[in-house]
Amino acid sequence: MATENYFWTNELADGSIQLGLNEAGRDLLGEIRFVDLPKVNQQVTAGETLIEVEAEKMVQDLPTPITGEIVSVHQELKDQPELLSDSDQQKNWVVTLKK
């Protein structure tokens, strides 16, 4: 599956880009039970692992579709990984990056 199929992207007013799990990613994984999140200030390269998830259907490394520096991480996902399964982008976002 192509990397862009896991995440939606949304450009914010400051030019940063927010990423979250899209419908195709949610369908592929099923209910998310655990997520290993990256750290703020971490550099990521397109195609490399952004997050690791354990879900009802599989354990999977999900690659980032864009290269940049992580400026914020959705910390609530540590205790509530099931938020990734929600269709609401306010709940299922993962990180915000600056190119």
pLDDT confidence of residue 2 = 42
Q: What is the total count of domains within the chain?
A: 1
pLDDT confidence of residue 52 = 95
Share of the chain above pLDDT 90, in %: 90
How confident is the model over 5-24, as a mean pLDDT? 94
Locus of tokens 């949304």: 10
Question: In CATH, what number is assigned to the domain containing residue 22?
Answer: 2.40.50.100
Indicate whether 1 pLDDT > 90.
no
* Burial class of residue 12 (count of CB atoms within 10 Å of its CB; 0-12, 13-18, 19+): exposed
Give me the domain span that covers residue 7: 3-98
Query: What is the residue type of 9?
Result: T
Indicate whether 30 pLDDT > 70.
yes
Closest CA to 33 of 52, 51, 56, 50: 56
Indicate whether 28 pLDDT > 70.
yes
Residue 39, number of CB atoms within 10 A of its CB = 8
Q: Is the dihedral of CA 88, 51, 81, 2 positive or negative?
A: positive
Indicate whether 99 pLDDT > 70.
yes
